[in-house]
Amino acid sequence: MRKKKWVAGCLLAACSLSLTAQDGIRRALEEIERNSTALRSMRKTASATMAGNRTGLTLEAPEIGFNYLFGSNSSMPHRQDISVSQTFDFPTIGGAKRRAADGLDSLAARTFDADRATYLLAAEKSCIELVYCNAVAAIFEQHRAVLSEVVALTEEAYDRGNATAQELNDSRLALAELQLDEADNETARATLMAGLCQLNGGQSLVLTDTTYAARALPDDFDDWWDDTRDMWPALRVAEADVEAGRSAARLTRSENLPSLSLGFMQETLPHEIYRGITFGLSIPLWSNRGKRRKAEADIAAAEARRDDAHVQLRGSVEAAYRRALALERSARQLRSSVQAGSNIPLLRRAMESGALSRPDYLEGVARYFALALREAQLRRDAELAKADVLAVYL
């Protein structure tokens, strides 16, 4: 009697197939962001890039010269020349170099943000897959409880001569096949957990959720896209690339201006000393030829990449949005069908009364749990699509 109550409890749990949702994925992502060695490396690389952008922003070093000149014969006095000069270039004193470095810093920061979002999105999808494997394991456990009871009942009936050897073999084969599926699912879970451990900087990550936390999709995609378009890391990288190109173009234009050199010079003879100010002018007639044209071409290319990034990202996000809506709708419909057609207790009573054969009972049980697995797959696929849509908030 206790055995039958236990099986009935398993069947009741199988009919509901619903556990209290915990946002374990969010906590897992927070832990990954803290512990990931890959993200730490990305941050260090971005910092090093920014430090490199800040080199060469000062004026050139002062130039000090000393000349000691001998006369062509012994009657001529020796001469000493001392000079100190400083070159002033307009890209430095006008701030063009600094503004170009600011643009490159912004590009490096935006690139890190995009790489971080891509990394966390991959981690989130792995977590979604792991939750799916956890849900499948729960379904398999409930299915195994039913099949184990069927095998035990069939063995008892076979011993009494009320069941055939074929029925006994069929029940045992159904259980064995389910156990193989369980083993495959456990392998998938172990693989996902190993991958998450790697993403988590080599530290183990615990995620036992079997359901997903509720995350609503926006009601109107166009309005939502207009509100969040400037938040997408990939688009911010594209915009920063354009701004960096424009700063580089302004720097190139300022490099076409002459550079000034001011200094002091002293010429010393045995009985005479000459002192004065020196002035130099460097006109870049040929050194910058073609640079401005190249800078303008770089800006045009960056703007084309930005425009394409907008089109491609909007298209992919909208496709994921439509797919997520359709999958959620299908999952809800299947859920309603599964709950409405959950007649396993009725089938069991029919089998015990002899109105239903054991093979038909096994077939009915298999059909129900197959639908439960299909629902879990639909919910996983919906969450994967939603992850692509809501990645802007990572």
Upper half-sphere CA count for residue 38 (Cβ side, 13 Å): 18
pLDDT tens per residue across span 274-332? 888 988 888 887 777 788 888 899 999 999 999 999 999 999 999 999 999 999 999 98
Q: At what angle do helices 37-53 and 24-35 cross, to 10 degrees?
A: 50
The full 3-state SS of 82-113, as one line of letters, equals EEEEEEECHHHHCCHHHHHHHHHHHHHHHHHH
The pair of three-digit structure tokens given for residue 31, joined into one six-digit string: 């832990």
Q: Measuring CA to CA, which residue among 78, 73, 76, 71 is closest to residue 268?
A: 78
Q: What is the distance between the terminal CA atoms of the chain, rounded to a whole angstrom?
A: 52
pLDDT tens per residue across span 240-267? 999 999 998 888 888 888 888 889 888 8
Check if the beta carbon of residue 21 is closer than 8 Å to that of residue 212.
yes
- What integer pLDDT is reported at residue 278 of this predicted model? 87
User: For the chain, which residues score pLDDT lower than 70?
Assistant: 1-22, 340-343, 346-347, 352-355
Domains and CATH numbers, the chain: 2-393 (1.20.1600.10)
- What integer pLDDT is reported at residue 20 of this predicted model? 37
> Strand (E) positions, 226-311?
259-268, 273-282
- What integer pLDDT is reported at residue 340 of this predicted model? 63
* Locus of tokens 């096994």: 362
pTM of the model: 0.84
Handedness of CA 33, 238, 122, 199 (dihedral sign): negative
Angle ∠(46,47,53) on CA atoms, nearest 5: 90
Please enumerate, as own/partner, the contacts of 27-33 that have beta carbons within 8 Å and a separation of 24 or more.
Answer: 28/123, 28/127, 28/196, 28/205, 28/207, 29/120, 29/123, 29/124, 29/127, 29/394, 31/200, 31/203, 31/205, 32/120, 32/123, 32/196, 32/199, 32/200, 32/201, 32/205, 33/116, 33/120
* Locus of tokens 């172990």: 190
